[in-house]
Amino acid sequence: MSIVNVTIFNALLRFSISQILRFKKILSLPKINFIMEKFIELLKHRRSCRHFTDEAIDKESIDIILKAALMSPSGHRLTPWEFVVVEDKETLKALSVCKAAGATFIENAAAAIVVIADTTKSDVWVEDCSIASVNMQLAAEDLGLGSCWVQIRLRKDNEGNDAIDNVKSLLGIPEQYSVLSMVALGHKGRESKPFDESKLQLDKIHRGRFGNNN
């Protein structure tokens, strides 16, 4: 094959590859749009659920929710978070009174996942645990389950005791760990309306500099 023919062949090859890649990109656009639409719908339907049925959650669903937590990003990929799965009814009842208010519904949940972190591993463990907590809630909604975040950090019980210490004592959590939250899980006992986009607080968005809401 002459040099001229080789040059022409290479040019045609590059053209074909670029066309294939362009065509592949075009074909993938509807899929991307579908995924984004599905994700937005998931966000709209994830509402805090505090009313659960008596139905248990199967192990496969719990494992999917935990995988969502383990796939959460963390600062420098230090992954300080760990998760304690509680399904025992007596333990759930004890957790429901670990703070003064806002946890009583855990008693009737099918399960609670306690989000803890080794605080010696990262100085942004609060942020990391927060992301993991939300990931679990989104996974639960995707499975058709209800969930609710229960704040533990910076909370106290009716006697002024730290809620973190109450949870750690109850679950045997080591000293270097702290507790951010608990995610209550169960089959929904009451359906909530999806988030109403007309209530979006668009005035909280600033473009370019603070105060520019256009």
Q: Residue 91 belongs to a domain with what CATH number?
A: 3.40.109.10
Ranges of residues in the chain whose predicted pLDDT is under 70: 1-28
pLDDT at 4: 47
Q: Are residues 3 and 102 in the same domain?
A: no
Query: What is residue 94's three-state secondary structure?
Result: helix
Give residue 90's Cα distance to chain centre: 26
Q: How many CB atoms lie within 10 A of CB 175?
A: 7
Global pTM? 0.85
Q: Are residues 10 and 109 in the same domain?
A: no
pLDDT at 151: 98
Please state, in angstroms and rounded to a whole number, the distance separating the CA atoms of residues 102 and 109: 13
Q: Are residues 40 and 92 in the same domain?
A: no
The CA dihedral of 138, 164, 190, 67, to the nearest 10 degrees, is 30
| Owning domain of residue 33 | 1-45
Q: Are residues 163 and 103 in the same domain?
A: yes
Q: Are residues 10 and 76 in the same domain?
A: no
pLDDT at 34: 80
Q: Are residues 31 and 69 in the same domain?
A: no
Nearest to 95 by CA among 34, 173, 184: 184
What is the number of structural domains in the chain? Answer: 2
Q: Are residues 35 and 113 in the same domain?
A: no
Give alpha helix (H) positions in 96-196.
125-142, 163-171
Could you tell me which residues come within 8 angstroms of residue 117 by beta carbon, excluding any fewer than 6 positions away? Answer: 80, 81, 82, 125, 126, 128, 129, 177, 178, 180
Q: Are residues 23 and 70 in the same domain?
A: no
